[in-house]
């Protein structure tokens, strides 16, 4: 390792040499932005310290504003979400203000309850402040990942933090749709505060990591409830891949509220709307199908956007993470919104209370552009979330009993640009015809366009796509439904295997969710996380039988045999 790194980040699967990015992130994040993100996260821990201390003292502290601020801020630091250092400078100033307001509320509540001001040892994250940009970057270098010297504690603190980042992303989406679970926000604060509490040892932190898995299940459940309440239960759908001869707007990311508002504002404007990447599952929601200018899906997963955005010709809206540094040839057509940011890109401001976001600039620009260049034709199946699969549970169980389905393989998670991810394509290709793949997230783009056919004698696709990465919750419900249907006491007794692809921090939350549910024998790849120390990995292997993905032929044989 460089003795004088300008930054240190190892939160994603593509981190340099599977050790850490030291000069510039593989994602394109520069050292200034990386250090500002580290400082923001550290200050969020200071905010959470006051919320947590008030809870320990049984003090009533109004902190909804802090809840939302912390979850949004954490979301902004997820890989490929925000690359704008000026945005983070502003956010750091806001974080200090939110923290100081909480500190005053805490002191006031403590004095009212106990008759004296609190006497507490404050972590530096709860007191440090500066508005000098030079101080911000310097402090960010000091308080990042490597500030924790002891390797096992560092590993557990980062694993917990990354899991909480994923939880925060799902929680933010649900909150936008008016779904709030207080216990999730409370855990986010408790978990963050724990990472600056030197009294906590490895056992304490490991317990919190497992609890983060439970909270990840709750967060995905809350988002599932919010999405289906607003837009209906996803329906099995053949999603169109071709294009029309009209100008278009391409929407990527995960935010279905943005999708809804964009469709409403483009109705009757002579402009079509296409999904990209993780927005593909929007094609399966009943509320969106009523729009005849909603065409289908264009392109593949996030890492191909450099080529595909160029060929789309029209404006592109990035609603969440999955942005890569744009090329000059199309950057004037890329718009960000929410917590997404990149220097010089146009940004659609947040909606005012009771109002919609204003997408008029995209619409007017779209009208002046050529139709998208066609990349492919045909359809792909989607919309097999828990409700749709539950409706066909009897037929699926019959297929199991007749030997038409001998194994379910959960191949959920993230895609990425490295050739090593061809492993998942080859596994899908080599699995026997009696194996059905359950998927969610952009990992599906490695195999959802293969001609894998249907289960013998049925119209059930061999790839059942539950939706976005957060819809991994659907895969859990599907497994539980199947267990009930066949009389199994434990989902590990099902003919089901887990071959998970990971890339960023929402995938970490999904992994922890599966572990919290007692799932064992997960294969994880294409490499194990760099932030797992030998000791932490050893515990995970011993407790949950986590294993790395390996040789395709050997893994397929083991999966087929259920080992």
C-alpha to C-alpha distance for 160 and 517, rounded to whole angstroms = 17
Using alpha carbons, list the distances in angstroms from residue 193 to 150, 155, 190, 211, 234. 18, 16, 5, 14, 37
Question: Which residue spans of the chain are classified as CATH 3.40.50.2030?
Answer: 237-367, 385-561
Collapse the DSSP code of 69 into the 3-class scheme (helix H, G, I; strand E, B; otherwise coil) and give the result: helix
pLDDT score recorded for residue 4? 62
Cα angle: 381, vertex 385, 391; to 5 degrees: 95
Residue partners of 308: CB distance under 8 A and separation at least 6: 276, 298, 299, 300, 375
Order of strands, edge to edge, in the sheet holding 294-297?
A: 294-297, 272-275, 248-252, 316-318, 334-337, 346-348
Q: Which residues pair with 465 in a beta bridge?
A: 439
| Whether CATH 3.50.50.60 fits 385-561 | no
| Element of type H or E holding 362 | helix 360-367
CATH architecture of 16-229: Up-down Bundle (1.20)
512 Cβ contact partners less than 8 Å away, ≥ 6 residues apart: 163, 209, 210, 212, 213, 216
Handedness of CA 25, 338, 507, 455 (dihedral sign): negative
CATH for 237-367? 3.40.50.2030
| Residue 541 Cα distances to 86, 164, 491, 553, 563, angstroms | 42, 22, 19, 22, 14
Tokens of 539: 């515990």
The per-residue pLDDT for 3 is 54
Domain with CATH 1.20.1270.20 in the chain: 16-229
Q: How many CA atoms lie within 13 A of 447 on its CB side?
A: 33
Nearest-5° Cα angle at 143, 138 to 144: 100
Peptide linkage before 242 cis (omega within 30 of 0): no
Helix%, strand%, coil% for the chain, nearest 5: 50, 10, 35
Written as tens digits, the pLDDT of the chain (563 aa) is 445 669 999 999 999 999 999 999 999 999 999 999 999 999 999 999 999 999 989 998 889 999 999 999 999 999 999 999 999 999 999 999 999 999 999 999 999 989 988 877 889 999 999 989 889 989 999 999 999 999 999 999 999 999 999 999 999 999 999 999 999 999 999 999 999 999 999 999 999 999 999 999 999 999 999 999 999 999 999 999 999 999 999 999 999 999 999 999 999 999 999 999 999 999 999 999 999 999 999 999 999 999 999 999 999 999 999 999 999 999 999 999 999 999 999 999 999 989 999 999 999 999 999 999 999 999 999 999 999 999 998 999 999 999 999 999 999 999 999 999 999 999 999 999 999 999 999 999 999 999 999 999 999 999 999 999 989 889 888 888 888 887 888 888 889 999 999 999 999 999 999 999 889 999 999 999 999 999 999 999 999 999 999 999 999 999 999 88
Identify the pLDDT of residue 61: 87
Place of tokens 């991994």: 472
CA atoms within 13 A on the CB side of 294: 24
Q: What's the predicted TM-score (pTM) here?
A: 0.96
Tokens at 140, concatenated: 């960010």
């Amino acid at each position: 390792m460089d003795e004088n790194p300008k930054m240190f980040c190892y939160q994603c699967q593509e981190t340099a040499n599977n050790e850490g990015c030291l000069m510039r992130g593989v994602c394109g994040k520069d050292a200034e932005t990386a250090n500002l993100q580290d400082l923001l996260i550290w200050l969020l821990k200071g905010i959470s310290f006051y919320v947590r201390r008030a809870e320990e003292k049984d003090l009533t502290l109004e902190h909804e504003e802090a809840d939302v601020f912390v979850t949004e801020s954490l979301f902004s630091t997820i890989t490929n979400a925000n690359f704008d250092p000026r945005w983070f400078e502003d956010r750091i100033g806001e974080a200090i203000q939110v923290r100081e307001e909480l500190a005053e509320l805490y002191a006031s509540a403590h004095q009212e309850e106990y008759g004296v001001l609190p006497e507490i040892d404050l972590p530096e994250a709860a007191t440090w402040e500066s508005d000098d940009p030079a101080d911000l970057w310097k402090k960010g270098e000091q308080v990042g990942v490597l500030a924790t010297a002891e390797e096992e504690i560092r590993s557990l603190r980062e694993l917990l933090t990354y899991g909480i980042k994923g939880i925060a992303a799902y929680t933010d989406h649900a909150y936008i749709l008016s779904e709030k679970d207080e216990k999730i926000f409370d855990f986010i604060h408790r978990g963050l505060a724990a990472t600056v509490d030197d009294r906590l040892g490895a056992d304490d932190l490991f317990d919190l990591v497992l609890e983060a898995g439970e909270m990840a299940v709750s967060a995905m459940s809350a988002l599932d409830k919010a999405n289906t309440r607003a837009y209906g239960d996803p329906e099995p759908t053949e999603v169109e891949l071709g294009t029309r001869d009209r100008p278009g707007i391409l929407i990527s990311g995960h935010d279905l509220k943005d999708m809804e508002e964009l469709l409403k504002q483009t109705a009757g404007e002579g402009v079509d709307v296409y999904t990209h990447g993780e927005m593909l599952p929007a094609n399966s929601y009943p509320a969106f199908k009523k729009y005849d200018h909603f065409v289908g899906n264009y392109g593949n997963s996030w890492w191909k956007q450099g080529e595909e955005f160029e060929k789309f010709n029209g404006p592109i809206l990035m609603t969440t993470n999955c942005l890569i540094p744009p090329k000059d040839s199309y950057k004037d057509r890329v718009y960000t919104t929410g917590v997404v940011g990149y220097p010089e890109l146009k940004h659609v401001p947040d909606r005012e209370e009771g109002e919609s976001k204003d997408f008029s600039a995209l619409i007017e620009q779209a009208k002046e552009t050529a139709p998208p260049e066609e990349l492919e034709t045909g359809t792909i199946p989607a919309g097999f979330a828990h409700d749709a699969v539950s409706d066909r549970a009897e037929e699926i169980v019959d297929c199991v009993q007749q030997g038409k389905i001998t194994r379910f393989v959960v191949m959920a998670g993230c895609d990425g640009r490295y050739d090593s991810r061809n492993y998942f394509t080859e596994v899908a290709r080599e699995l026997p015809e009696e194996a059905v793949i359950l998927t969610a997230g952009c990992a599906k783009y490695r195999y959802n366009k293969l001609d894998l056919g249907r289960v013998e004698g049925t119209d059930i696709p061999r790839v059942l796509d539950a939706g976005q990465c957060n819809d991994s919750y659907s895969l859990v419900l599907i497994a539980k439904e199947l267990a009930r249907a066949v009389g199994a006491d434990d989902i590990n007794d099902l003919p089901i295997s887990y071959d998970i692809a990971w890339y960023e921090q929402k995938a970490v939350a999904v992994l922890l969710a599966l572990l919290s549910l007692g799932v064992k024998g997960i294969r994880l790849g294409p490499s194990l996380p760099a932030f797992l120390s030998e000791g932490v990995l050893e515990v995970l292997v011993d407790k949950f039988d986590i294993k790395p993905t390996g040789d395709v032929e050997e893994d397929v044989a083991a999966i087929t045999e259920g080992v």
